[in-house]
C-alpha cells in the first residue's frame, strides 16, 4: 500500500512540476521567440521567401521566367515575363497567390491566385490577359520548388479557350 501511495505522490508531483515549467516558459518572451524560430525553420515558405522560376504555360502563354516573394507564409507576389506564342510576342505579368496551408510546415500546399498579363504595343502597355489559377506547390529540402496549376483565363487573343494551365520549376533562396 505504501508503494502505491508513493507512486501516486510521485506522479502527481511530476505532473504539477511539468505544468509549472510550461507556465514559466509560456510567459518567457525568449522562449516564445525560440518557438517562432523553430516554426520558421520547418516552414520553407518562411525560410526561403524568394525564388526564380521557369514557367511553361501559365499567365503569359508559352514559356517565361518569373520572380516570386512570400510576404507572409500564406501570400506570395509574383512578376514575370515570357513569350505568348512562337512569333514571339513578349508579354509581362504580375499577380499573387494565396496558399491555404501556408502557415503550416507542410511542403505541399494548395493555392489560388490572380494574375494579369500585359504587353507593350509600341505606344502603350495593354492588358490582354486575366489568369486565375488553382494549383499545388512543393518546396523541397534542396530549395527546388515546383508547382502545377489549372486556371480560368480570359485572354483577348484566344476567345474560345477559357481553361488553361501551367507548370513551374524554380529555385528558392
Question: pLDDT tens track of the chain, all 173 residues?
Answer: 566 655 565 555 544 444 444 444 455 666 655 655 555 568 999 999 999 999 999 888 789 999 999 999 999 999 999 998 888 788 899 999 999 999 988 889 999 999 999 988 778 888 888 999 999 999 999 999 999 999 999 887 777 778 999 999 999 99
DSSP code at position 89: P
C-alpha cell at 147: 508547382
| Beta strands 144-155; 163-172: pairing state | antiparallel
| Contact predicate 40/47, CB 8 Å | yes
Q: Does domain 48-172 have CATH number 2.40.160.20?
A: yes
* Signed CA dihedral, 31, 36, 39, 40: sign only: negative
At residue 26, the 3 state secondary structure works out as helix
Measured in whole angstroms, the distance separating CA 65 from the mean position of its chain's CA atoms is 17
| Alpha carbons 171 and 168: distance in angstroms, whole number | 10
Amino acid at each position: 500500500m505504501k508503494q502505491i501511495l508513493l507512486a501516486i505522490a510521485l506522479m502527481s508531483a511530476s505532473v504539477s512540476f511539468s505544468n509549472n515549467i510550461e507556465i514559466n516558459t509560456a510567459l518567457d518572451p525568449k522562449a516564445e521567440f525560440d518557438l517562432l524560430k523553430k516554426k520558421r525553420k520547418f516552414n520553407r515558405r518562411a525560410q526561403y521567401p524568394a525564388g526564380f522560376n521557369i514557367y511553361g504555360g501559365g499567365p503569359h502563354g508559352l514559356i517565361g521566367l518569373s520572380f516570386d516573394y512570400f510576404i507572409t507564409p500564406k501570400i506570395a507576389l509574383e512578376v514575370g515575363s515570357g513569350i505568348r506564342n512562337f512569333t514571339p510576342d513578349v508579354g509581362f505579368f504580375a499577380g499573387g497567390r494565396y496558399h491555404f496551408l501556408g502557415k503550416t510546415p507542410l511542403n505541399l500546399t494548395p493555392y489560388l491566385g490572380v494574375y494579369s498579363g500585359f504587353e507593350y504595343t509600341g505606344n502603350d502597355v495593354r492588358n490582354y490577359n486575366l489568369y486565375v489559377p488553382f494549383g499545388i506547390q512543393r518546396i523541397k529540402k534542396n530549395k527546388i520548388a515546383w508547382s502545377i496549376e489549372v486556371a480560368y483565363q480570359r485572354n483577348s487573343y484566344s476567345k474560345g479557350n477559357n481553361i488553361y494551365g501551367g507548370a513551374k520549376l524554380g529555385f528558392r533562396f
